[in-house]
Amino acid sequence: MVRCKIKHHSEKIKKILNHKLSNLKFPGFVSDEMLISAFCEANIFLFPSYEENEGIVVLEALSSKTPLIIRNIPVYKNWLSHKENCLKSQTIEDL
């Protein structure tokens, strides 16, 4: 798993990230070429954001044909369909 950008975390996520995971990398800023490669090689793209305008990273994931899991929020209502071009979820249990 590669996490390219981190803005802020809940305390629960901070605790999880403090554990050393061999398959989790934090490369910081990456070039466009590396970002495209990361999307194309990913097994899934998980984007559990609570608020978005459009979500450019969602468009990038879709354009690379990376399977997409997003939070079911209103901004995606008219252009992303659950089980057609993505999976939508409110909680982990929904999946």
Return left, alpha or beta for 72; rule: phi > 0 is left, psi -120 to 50 is alpha, else beta.
beta
Q: Cα(46)–Cα(33) distance, rounded to whole angstroms?
A: 20
What's the count of helices (H) and strands (E) in the chain, helices before strands? 3, 3
- With a CB cutoff of 8 Å and minimum separation 6, the contacts of 22 are none
Written as six digits, the tokens of 15 are 């605790």
The model carries a pTM of 0.69
Residue 50: the pLDDT is: 84
Domain 11-94: give its CATH architecture. Answer: 3-Layer(aba) Sandwich (3.40)
pLDDT digits (tens, 9 = 90+) for 3-45: 555 455 566 666 766 777 777 777 778 898 998 898 899 999 9
- Could you give the percent of the chain with pLDDT greater than 70? 80
Domain definitions of the chain by residue range: 11-94
